[in-house]
Structure 1
Amino acid sequence: MVRFTITFFVMVILFLGGVIVGFDQAGTGMNNLSGNDVNEYDAVEASKQGDDYQVDLLGESFEQKPIEEKKEEYQDINQGLFTEKLAATVEGGVKWFFNMLIEGAYQISELFYRV
C-alpha cells in the first residue's frame, strides 16, 4: 500500500511538472511564431502629434479615427446583426413547431395507453 501511494504521488508530480513545462514551451513557441519579442518594446506607448493621439499596444499601432469612419463601421456591424436576428427568429419558430409536434404525438399516444 505504501509503495502504491509513493508511486502514485511520484507519477502525479511528474505529470504536473510536464504540464507546467509544456505550457512554458507553448508560450515561448507562440512568441517566436508571431515574431514579437515582448522584451523589445513597452506594453503601452502613447504619443500626441498635434490634435491626434497615437497609441502603440504590444507593438501594434492604433491611430485616432474620425467619428464618421466609426459610424460607418458601426453601421456595417449592425447590418451583420440583422441576419443573426433573423436566424434567431427562424430558430424560435422551428423549435416551437417541433415542440407542438412532439406534444401532439404525446397526447395521441396518451389516448391509446390511458388505463
Structure 2
Amino acid sequence: MIRFTMTFFLMIILFLGGVIVGFDQAGSGMNKLRGNDVESYDALQTVKTEDNQFGVEVLGQTFTQESIDEKREEYKEIKEDVFTEKLAFALEKIVKWFYNILIQGAYQISQLFY
C-alpha cells in the first residue's frame, strides 16, 4: 500500500511539473509567434517625443500629452450629444402620449358598440 501511494504521488508530481513546463513553453511560443522575442520588458515606460513632449508607453501602446483646448472640444461634442439624446427622449415621450391617446379613444369608441 505504501509503495502504491509513493508511486501515485510521484506520478502526480511529475504530471503537474510537466503541465507547468508545457504552459511556460506555450507562452514563449506565443510570444515568438506574435513577434515579441524579447523575454522581459517593462510594462510602463516613459518616452520623449520630437517636440519635447512626454508620453507614456503602456504595454506597447503610446499615450501622449494633449492640450486642454482639444479636450474642451471633445467635451463640447459630448455635451452636444447629450442634448441630442435629451431631445430624442422628449420626442419619444410625446409620440408615446399621442399614441396612447389614440388607443384610448379607439377603445372608448369600441365600448359604445359592445
What TM-score do the two structures reach when normalised by structure 2?
Answer: 0.51
**Larger radius of gyration between Structure 1 and Structure 2:** 2
Per the alignment, residue 64 of structure 1 pairs with 65
Contact (CA 8 Å) 2:47, 2:57: kept in 1 or not? no
Q: 1:99 to 1:60 in 2, by over 3 A?
A: same
Root-mean-square deviation over aligned CA pairs:
3.0
**Percent identity between the two aligned chains:** 47
Per the alignment, residue 112 of structure 2 pairs with 111
Per the alignment, residue 45 of structure 1 pairs with 44
Q: What is the number of residues matched between the two proteins?
A: 76
Per the alignment, residue 78 of structure 2 pairs with 77
Contact (CA 8 Å) 2:43, 2:58: kept in 1 or not? yes
Q: Which amino acid in the other structure matches residue 57 of structure 2?
A: D
Per the alignment, residue 88 of structure 1 pairs with 89
Q: 1:111 to 1:100 in 2, by over 3 A?
A: same
Q: 1:46 to 1:92 in 2, by over 3 A?
A: farther
Gaps of 5+ in 2: 1-33
